[in-house]
Copies of this chain bind each other. A is one copy, B any other.
Amino acid sequence: MTDENKKNSIDKVASAAGVSIATVSRFLNGQLDRMSEKTAKRIQNIIDEMNYVPNAAARQLMTKTSKMIAVVVANIEDYFSSEIFKGIDGIAITEGYTPVLFDTNGDEQQELYLIDKINQQNFDALIIQPLNVDANMIKKHLKRNIPVITVDRLLENSEWPTVVSDNYDVTKNVSNYYLSKGYTHAVIVTEPIGTVSTRRDRAAAIKSVYPDASLVEVNAKDNVAKKVKARIFADVDKKEKILIFALKERLVLKLAARFRQDFTNANIKLTGFAESDVLFEINPGLKLVRQNPFKMGVTTGELILSLLNSDEASVPAVTVVKADYL
């Protein structure tokens, strides 16, 4: 404990202000109706003077606010997650809020563990890119009644507003574009779809245009090009024009790096989702779905400020941030 901290005890505030400890306690609990305005002001002044360093714990007892927003993302390694945070940060800071970042590292249990920790601290709001699928799981751990917004992925049983990319629409539009160009077969390349709503939506959109699309689910260690080639060999007539649609930047990257060596058939076209500039730097000729995680963050930041500023803020249940096809 530092000297500054020792000075902050309620006892010392009471004696310096010439009031009882009970009065300081009431002040810290916000029961200002039980003392004169003058007394409240004197206590505040003493606290201000003594708190050469403001004592956040005391102030939080008093105001129940920390001006901090907890932001929980699926993986800080992903450019997508870090851009969402940067978008939130840029907006929240304009009203004096400081967003702080928690990393679930792709682990559902870690997500619940972190929500327990956040619940125990005085965060004013929570923004989460959820891994768990059921909002009730998260509610079980977040017991405090603070504003919550989910981002990127949809939750079941959720009453929280959510900000998402237009995964389904943009994917369907791109699929229709390539069908119109004579690409008659699609190969979907994705991490295991499981219950992840973004992957499910994108795959469904492709299948709405290409009902017979091949599905290649890959893990981190897989040789992606090899798996895709094997599937094309098994599923596709040699004369067909084939669209490879990779649902994540890293997968596009793995396929793009040696595309013409791996896929010598000129009738094969690669497209997919990108978040960063890397793919455009490597292969400026690729046309890719470019999501807008920074803008998603900005939108989320604006909505959370509305909720923080007013109990009756009306925030749409779902806000869609459009992706581009470049």
Interface residues in chain A, defined as those with a beta carbon under 8 Å from any beta carbon in chain B? 1-2, 4-5, 9-11, 20-22, 24-26, 28-29, 31, 52-54, 56-58, 60-61, 64, 66-68, 76-77, 79, 82-83, 85-86, 89, 98, 100-103, 105, 114, 117, 119-122, 143-145, 253-254, 257, 278, 281-283
Contacts and interface: CB of A to CB of B under 8 A. Distances in A.
Contact of A82 (B60, B82, B117): B82
Contacts of A144: 2, 4-5, 53
A57 B122 contact: yes
Contacts of A25: 10-11, 21-22, 24-25
A38 to B, nearest CB: 21
Contacts of A86: 76-77, 103, 105
A103 B93 CA distance: 12
A145 B52 CA distance: 13
Nearest to A67: B117
Candidate in A57, A64, A103, A144 with the most chain B CB atoms within 10 angstroms:
A57
Contact of A278 (B26, B29, B56, B278): B278
A42 to B, nearest CB: 18
Contacts of A101: 76, 100-103
Contact of A77 (B1, B79, B122): B79
A5 B64 contact: yes
A253 B257 CA distance: 12
Given A102-B100, A105-B89, A253-B282, A120 B77 contact: no
A103 B121 contact: no
B82 A77 contact: yes
Copies of this chain per assembly? 2
A20 B21 CA distance: 10
A105 B64 CA distance: 29
Nearest to A9: B29
Candidate in A53, A101, A281 with the most chain B CB atoms within 10 angstroms:
A101
Contacts of A82: 76-77, 82, 103
Contacts of A61: 57-58, 61
A76 B71 CA distance: 13
Contacts of A20: 22
Contacts of A24: 25
Contacts of A143: 4, 52-53
Contacts of A54: 120
Contacts of A10: 25, 28-29
A60 to B, nearest CB: 4
A219 to B, nearest CB: 14
A2 B145 contact: yes
Contacts of A5: 64, 144
